[in-house]
Structure formats: structure tokens, C-alpha cells
Amino acid sequence: MFGVVYAVSQLTILLLVAPLGRELGELQVSGFTAATYVDVFRRWEAAGVMDAYRSHFLLDDVHWVWYASLLTVLLCTLFERHRISHRFDWVLVVPLAAGLCDAYENHLQHVFLASADHVAVVDPLPLLSTIASITKWTLAAGCVLLSLALGLRGRTRAQRE
């Protein structure tokens, strides 16, 4: 169920932010300063796409719950299937950590959007937002890679038998 909810949510978010192009992804991982954020926000305002950025938060504010839940259930299932030692159970909180980084990043984005003239975009908040974003992406990617590795492990084992 989380997979379907996640997929619909992800697709909708991608459609909402499509007018922003690649710049949103670039901003998430390289927007270390207030000057960078204000410059990007002004370009989006001039291009008339700032509302696309604002509107995506309707889903993105809860999106982390869907992917953190999906990754946790997936890892739990794979850990059980492959009888992974309980000493690695700490890995099962990594999707939650990724999601909490996402929630914190979104919180800071709401702060940035709180004033029309961007006076709330002050250093070091963009740095903290970018660190949270990079951490989120790294942790989530690690969970996906681990899931793929465990899935391939099961497939390889099944082919040998």
C-alpha cells in the first residue's frame, strides 16, 4: 500500500515542480547560501513559476512519511527473508532519519517562503537546509541500494538452487 501511495505522491510532486526544471534539484544540493536561494527565488518569480514551488509542499510536507514507511517495510521484509542478524536492526531507522531530514528541510523552506521579499532567507539557514537535503538523499539512496542488493542476493540464491 505504501508503494502505491508513494508512487502517486512522487509523480504528482514531479508534475507540480516540472516548471522549475532541474534548478530545484540543483538548489537542494548546492544552495549553501542565502544569496544563492534569493537569486533562484527571484528567477522563479520573474519566470512566473514560484507558485509551482509553493504548491508542491501540499504533498511534499507528508511525502517523507510515505517513502520512509515504504523503505522501512521493504527493509524489514528483506531482513527477515534473508535472516539478517538483529545486530543490524539499527539500519531499520535509517529511512526514518532520511524522512526527518526531509521534514526539517521542508520546514526551513517554509521559513524562506514566509516573507514576500525573502528577508527570512538568512545564513546559515540555507546551509542547514542543504545539509539536510544531501543527508536525506544519501540515506534514502543507501536504503534503496541495500534493498536492491538484498533483492539480488535472494535472486542469485534462488537461481543456484
Full pLDDT tens readout for the chain, 161 residues: 778 999 999 999 999 999 999 999 999 999 999 999 999 999 999 999 999 999 999 999 999 999 999 999 999 999 999 999 999 999 999 999 999 999 999 999 999 999 889 999 999 999 999 999 999 999 999 999 999 999 998 666 655 55
The total of structural domains in the chain comes to: 1
User: Domain range for residue 104?
Assistant: 2-15+23-160
CA separation for the pair 154, 150 (Å, rounded)? 6
Distance CA 52, CA 20 (A): 7
Distance CA 4, CA 43 (A): 34
